[in-house]
Amino acid sequence: MANSRQYTDEELIQRVWDVEEIKKLIHKRVIYITNEMRKEELNDLWVQDPNHQKTASFGRNTGYYTGMDAIRDYYVVHHQKEREEQLKQLHAANPAIADVPQNLHIGCLSSHPVSTGLVELAGDGKTAKGLWYAIAQETEAQPDGTGKALWMPEKIAVDFVKEEDGWKIWHIVVSTDLVSEAGEDYSEQEVYHNYETNPVDVEFGTPTIAKLIHNTDFNWWDNYPPMPEAYETFSDAVSYGPEGYVRPALYGLDSKEGRNFR
Amino acid sequence: MGKTYSTEELVSRWEDQRYMKNLMGKYANCMILNREHEIFDRFWSKKTENLCLSFNDGAYKGAEAIRAYYEAEYRRNDLVAHLLQKRFPEKLGSLSDEELYGIGPFKVKPMSCPIIEIAEDHQTAKGLWYCQGAYNKVEGCGPVARWTWGYFAVDFTYEDDAWKIFNLMYVNDVDCICGQSWGKEEKPYPPLPEFQPLEEFKYPEYSVKKTIRPLYAPDRVLTKAPEIPVPYRTFAETFSYGIS
Amino acid sequence: MKSKLSLHERIRNANASQEVEKVKARHTYLHGRADATGEWADIWSRDPNCSWAHIFGRMRGFDQVWYGSVAQYDKMSFENAIELMKIYPETAGKDPRPLMEASVHTLVTDIIEVAEDGMSARGSFITPGVIHSTLTADQKKYCNVLWERYGSDFVCEDGKWKYLHEQVCPDILSRMDCLNWAAEEYARITAPEEKEAPPVTLGEAPPVTDPGPLHLPYSVLGKPQNTVPWPEPYHTLDDENTYTSFVKHQE
């Protein structure tokens, strides 16, 4: 239901500030990512209330991790292990790069600067939904001494909930449109999305709920994650968590289907 | 968040934030329009001592040095336009100096992800922006477009009923040729004789010459972004984006 | 900062500033799905003074804007879909519009002013955009960068904020992956036989009231243009404060 309430001046400026605080929160996340502060991100910017933690989710095109334990395992622990392995490989190729903690993340640069913020605060002021777009890039050092620099433009959809100490991230969907190596001809990539080799999908692994929620082969046809609309109070139906996912009613065929008629 | 603000204070502080976002937007527009020489008078504090403008490899300290930097940008823009006029006499030969100025360079430095904190005493504020930029300054090898990924980190002071800059740090992680990978060794374009005077062009010496932020390289250790502003009471109780 | 507005009016304008940011962002996400109907049916004013301008000129009045921005745009996407179905039959039956491309004009560097009278707002934006598509008629996917600037006027109608004027100023169009927009232009203009600059819009230019060019993309031999100067604080939307001059209607 759309939010059609009338607010007093005091209520309205508080709502304006709430929106600013939410934007600031997601802007801080941009810096936390660059700083490789994933653990701190979950502690500082994500939900802390145990009930919210149980229902928190982190989605990508191939599904959702649900619950903070699973999110932490994927987003922090697995990432840390990957970076430790990467450092071992760099050290093996070039002993001048010592395999010591201060060299963790050497040659890595992740920038996901968000833009185009669209924030809808619930009529009851307890939750909010936001959508952003980032022309993101991630770069990682390779054993041959170069960095592999990848463009990865993406939508970032977020549900927020107001806890005792302020606004927190509750559900997030990072929907990557494409991955293209800087300096390489993107049009030479195979046309259809390859879930076995796409670095975002490989890194995401097998989530708690593994299902295709956005098929990039059809551009933005499936409209997921959608724009937030004005709403009165939070419900599963409006959630960016798995319970809010709606497959288009008349989906038709999937990629590569229906081609054997000749 | 420590202090609780009245409704009127909340409105004022929202207006202050909007003003600072607008100010940085205007700063970016001045760069697009090659009007760097207007930036100091428009946006910098006239009442604060120890102003600081810093880049990856050094800082200008004090009004005179900062003004000289922006004036150097003007002179360089002017030089580029004259070199292009010489190279394309049929297209640009008839233009006066005024008509010619601005032709050539194109510097887009969009500001996103603002994180702004206004001091409780309302005398200062701090802002951090991400900047995903693109530019063509025209170099000794001619027009070459470059991507930049970096940050604008700014300290503002409140003077004469307006917010003004007193420290500005513009530092990049990436400054690479468009069409190439910032993870690999740059393949420079060959020098062009018609643009050789640009190789000899010199900006004023930095007041402080040191590496403030190394650019990305595959062997760069994790280099954190400029510090995120946090709520604070007075400027003396927080950090500065100035360089000492 | 001093303001001559009442506290109530200042709060109204703070809220208005956020509302127009939302309208602008809705444009981006709707356009990303080539959902021109969603855009012009929902977030645009139907005022006879509404206008949409690009390099090719300015459409004035809602009907002309609708024809150029919706009817003609949809035609392009439908024609593309027909070609796609021959190569990729699985696209049949899907909304043809988003299959054309995702044209994502991100919004940053916003400079927003709300009129003292609270009835309008003005904004300028830099839009570093990406335009990408996967299934294409030539069976090659692509991702271009299109960096533009916007000048936008908004009006409040029955408590809802709507677009009134939009002026789009493309500056840079290139491929994201492996081209250099400045070096390539220099190579083009110094070639023994200079070729024409590539187009920065899809398809045919629509019918316009004010013919273009209204803005020139960045060129090594041109000045960066100030087609949509940033808005200054203002009292009311008028010919001094607008991205499209108002037409005086004959009585």
Rg (CA), chain A: 20
**Phi, psi of A98, rounded to the nearest 5 degrees:** -70, 145
Q: Where are the domains of chain B?
A: 7-237
Residue pair B76/B201 in contact by the 8 Å Cβ criterion: yes
Residue pair C12/C121 in contact by the 8 Å Cβ criterion: no
Find residue A172's DSSP bridge partners. A58, A158
Question: Residue C203 — very low, low, confident or very high, per pLDDT cuts 50/70/90?
Answer: confident
Determine the pLDDT at residue B47: 97
CB contact under 8 A, B88 and C1: no
CA atoms within 13 A on the CB side of C183: 19
Nearest CA in chain C to B23: C111
pLDDT at C181 over 80: yes
pLDDT at A2 over 60: no
Rg (CA), chain B: 20
A149 CB neighbours in chain C (<8 A) are none
Distance, in angstroms, between C148 CA and closest chain A CA?
A: 14
Residue pair A74/B193 in contact by the 8 Å Cβ criterion: no
Specify burial of residue B153 (Cβ count, 10 A radius: 0-12, 13-18, 19+). buried
* B15: region left, alpha or beta (phi > 0 left; psi from -120 to 50 alpha): alpha
* Closest listed residue to residue C110, CA positions, set C93, C92, C96, C123: C123
Q: Higher confidence at residue B4 or residue B52?
A: B52
Which 3 state secondary structure label does DSSP give C142? strand
| Residues near A23 by beta carbon (within 8 Å), at least 6 away in sequence | A117, A119, A130, B114
CB contact under 8 A, A184 and C177: yes
* Closest listed residue to residue B240, CA positions, set B115, B139, B156: B156
**Phi, psi of C67, rounded to the nearest 5 degrees:** -60, -50
Nearest CA in chain C to B85: C221
Q: What CATH number does the domain located at B7-237 have?
A: 3.10.450.50
- The answer, for A249 touching chain C at a CB cutoff of 8 Å, is no
Sign of the CA dihedral running A32, A38, A44, A46: positive
Determine the pLDDT at residue C250: 55
Nearest CA in chain C to B80: C220
Mean pLDDT of B28-43: 98
pLDDT at C251 over 90: no
CB contact under 8 A, C176 and A180: yes
Measure CB to CB from residue A220 to each of C12, C14, C98 and give the nearest one. Answer: C98
Question: Hey, which chains touch A, using 3+ CB pairs under 8 Å?
Answer: B, C
A97 CB neighbours in chain B (<8 A) are 219
Task: Mark out the alpha helices in C101-167 (DSSP H runs).
Answer: none
Mean pLDDT of C232-245: 97
d(CA C230, CA C228): 6
Tell me the residue range of the domain where C182 lies.
Answer: 7-211
Question: Residue C248 — very low, low, confident or very high, per pLDDT cuts 50/70/90?
Answer: low
Measured CA to CA in angstroms, residue A85 lies from A152, C36, C62, C128 at distances of 23, 48, 59, 35
A111 CB neighbours in chain B (<8 A) are 130, 132, 149, 173
d(CA B31, CA C224): 10
| Residues near B13 by beta carbon (within 8 Å), at least 6 away in sequence | B5, B118
Question: Residue C192 — very low, low, confident or very high, per pLDDT cuts 50/70/90?
Answer: confident
Residue pair A131/A155 in contact by the 8 Å Cβ criterion: yes
CB contact under 8 A, A254 and C90: yes
Mean pLDDT of C102-125: 98
Domain of C125, CATH number, reads: 3.10.450.50
d(CA A173, CA B235): 38
Specify burial of residue B204 (Cβ count, 10 A radius: 0-12, 13-18, 19+). middle
CB contact under 8 A, A255 and C90: yes
Distance, in angstroms, between A194 CA and closest chain B CA?
A: 23
Place of tokens 């702004």: B116
When the pLDDT of each residue in chain B is averaged and rounded to a whole number, the result is: 97
A185 CB neighbours in chain C (<8 A) are 177-178
d(CA A109, CA B213): 14
Q: What percent of chain A has pLDDT over 90?
A: 96
Determine the pLDDT at residue A1: 46
What are B157's two structure tokens? 């002071």
* Closest listed residue to residue C18, CA positions, set B23, A17, B28, A132: A17
Virtual torsion, Cα C137, C140, C144, C150, nearest 10 deg: 20
Determine the pLDDT at residue C199: 72
Measure CB to CB from residue B181 to each of A35, A115, A149 and give the nearest one. Answer: A149
Structural domain contains residue C90? yes
CB contact under 8 A, C174 and B145: yes
Mean pLDDT of C16-31: 98
Distance, in angstroms, between C110 CA and closest chain B CA?
A: 6
d(CA A242, CA C10): 40
B217 CB neighbours in chain A (<8 A) are 107, 147
Rg (CA), chain C: 20
Residue pair A153/A134 in contact by the 8 Å Cβ criterion: yes
| Residues near A93 by beta carbon (within 8 Å), at least 6 away in sequence | A143, A144, A145
Residue pair A58/A72 in contact by the 8 Å Cβ criterion: no
When the pLDDT of each residue in chain C is averaged and rounded to a whole number, the result is: 94
Distance, in angstroms, between A48 CA and closest chain B CA?
A: 17
Determine the pLDDT at residue C197: 77
* B17: region left, alpha or beta (phi > 0 left; psi from -120 to 50 alpha): alpha
Measure CB to CB from residue B161 to each of C2, C178, C218 and give the nearest one. Answer: C2
Domains within chain A, CATH numbers bracketed: 9-241 (3.10.450.50)
Which 3 state secondary structure label does DSSP give A208? coil
| Residues near B242 by beta carbon (within 8 Å), at least 6 away in sequence | B50, B52, B54, B59, B155, B166, B167
pLDDT at C249 over 80: no
pLDDT at A262 over 70: no
d(CA C208, CA C202): 16
Residue pair B223/B213 in contact by the 8 Å Cβ criterion: yes
d(CA A16, CA C18): 8
Measured CA to CA in angstroms, residue A167 lies from A49, A126, B231 at distances of 12, 9, 16
d(CA B66, CA B164): 14
When the pLDDT of each residue in chain A is averaged and rounded to a whole number, the result is: 97
| Distance from the Cα of residue C19 to its chain's centroid | 18
CB contact under 8 A, C182 and B91: no
Measured CA to CA in angstroms, residue B190 lies from B145, B180, C119, C220 at distances of 14, 15, 55, 18
A163-203 pLDDT, tens digit per residue, is: 999 999 999 999 999 999 999 999 999 999 999 999 999 99
Which 3 state secondary structure label does DSSP give C246? coil
* Largest Cα–Cα separation, chain A: 67
User: What is the ipTM score, two decimals?
Assistant: 0.97
pLDDT at A216 over 70: yes
| Residues near C76 by beta carbon (within 8 Å), at least 6 away in sequence | C100, C202, C203
Based on the structure, what is the number of domains in chain C?
1
pLDDT at B233 over 80: yes
Sign of the CA dihedral running B178, B179, B182, B186: negative
B98-144 pLDDT, tens digit per residue, is: 999 999 999 999 999 999 999 999 999 999 999 999 999 999 999 99
CB contact under 8 A, C33 and A187: no
What are C126's two structure tokens? 């830099």
Q: Are strands B111-118 and B124-136 parallel, antiparallel or unpaired?
A: antiparallel
- The answer, for B209 touching chain C at a CB cutoff of 8 Å, is no
Which 3 state secondary structure label does DSSP give C192? coil
pLDDT at B213 over 90: yes
Question: Hey, which chains touch C, using 3+ CB pairs under 8 Å?
Answer: A, B
- The answer, for A16 touching chain B at a CB cutoff of 8 Å, is yes
Structural domain contains residue C227? no
Mean pLDDT of C187-213: 85
- The answer, for A177 touching chain C at a CB cutoff of 8 Å, is yes
Hey, what amino acid is at B127? G
CB contact under 8 A, C25 and A9: no
pLDDT at B218 over 70: yes
d(CA A252, CA C95): 11
Q: What percent of chain C has pLDDT over 90?
A: 90
